[in-house]
Amino acid sequence: MSSANPYAPPRGAVRDVRDPDDVGAPAGRGARLGAFFLDSIIMGCMIYVPMLIAVAIGVALGGSLQPSDTVMATVFGLGGLGMLVGFIVWMVITLRLVARDGQSIAKRMLGIKVVRSDGSPASLGRIFWLRNVVNSLLGIIPLYGLIDILFIFSDERQCLHDKIADTIVVEA
């Protein structure tokens, strides 16, 4: 007789539960601030440098910065295209890193990453929507940006956008 025992305990796949004390060391305030500025510089270079190069080439070709100059109109068009390509490349690299490891380009360089407060990986949606989009929308409130940043000096080292998204930044 090989029928299943109706009194046997249930069998099912159980996910391992993370130890809340094994989250990782919180990232330093300087590393987080440095990552913010470094990400801004990287993004600015990838987006604006193509336009600056195009303008320099246009001026070297004898164009003037007048709107009626056809050389410069062409150069600005190519520079705009370069800016678009730079933005797309930056976005693809950033989204891949964030989705895979919870890191932006600068966070990866500085050895820090974003995780959920329980230590589990933070999803791309959580990082994008809650940490970035909602935080940007709240930025219309006067002094919100300053208050958000000042929360880094709390014991938990969580900014307001971290609290909204239930994330923390730890050493990778």
Residue-wise pLDDT for 23-43, tens only, equals 789 999 999 999 999 999 999
Can you tell me the distance from the alpha carbon of 34 to that of 101, in angstroms, rounded to the nearest whole number? 19
The single-letter DSSP state of residue 16 is P
Give yes or no for a contact between 106 and 38, defined as CB atoms under 8 angstroms apart.
yes
As a whole number, the mean pLDDT across the chain is 89
Can you tell me the distance from the alpha carbon of 164 to that of 166, in angstroms, rounded to the nearest whole number? 6
Residue 71: pLDDT band with limits 50, 70, 90? confident
Instruction: Pinpoint the alpha helices (H) of the chain.
Output: 29-60, 70-101, 105-110, 124-125, 134-138, 144-150, 160-165
Residues in the chain: 172
Instruction: Pinpoint the alpha helices (H) of 102-132.
Output: 105-110, 124-125
Can you tell me the distance from the alpha carbon of 107 to that of 97, in angstroms, rounded to the nearest whole number? 10
pLDDT in tens, 122-170: 999 999 999 999 999 999 999 999 999 999 999 989 999 999 999 999 9
Find the range with the poorest average confidence among 8-12, 16-20, 69-73.
16-20
Structure tokens at 32: 């987080």
Can you tell me the distance from the alpha carbon of 171 to that of 104, in angstroms, rounded to the nearest whole number? 13
